[in-house]
Amino acid sequence: MATLAVTRRHDLTDGQWAALEPLLPRPGRSGRPPKWTRRQLIDGIRWRMRVGSPWRDVPAAYGPWQTVYGLFRRWQR
């Protein structure tokens, strides 16, 4: 997968993402390809945890707040 430029100063760097990506569960292969990268969604989760804002205030650069929140909830279980 192509690298994503760091858009904000607290987003994951390429080195951090390279270390984290192999630890994540593999996504399912069925269905439509994802519109948002896992890196964007994880950066969105990290942004929300760092700032402490409501989920609805997650910046659009990280994907729709519902998608970011959905990934967070799946990982909580």
Whole-number pLDDT of residue 19 = 97
Distance CA 15, CA 19 (A): 6
Distance CA 54, CA 56 (A): 5
Higher pLDDT, 58 or 7: 58
Look at residue 39 and tell me whether its pLDDT is greater than 80. Answer: yes
pLDDT tens column, 1-33: 444 454 677 899 999 999 999 999 887 778 888
Look at residue 66 and tell me whether its pLDDT is greater than 50. Answer: yes
pTM (2 decimals)? 0.82
Distance CA 55, CA 49 (A): 10
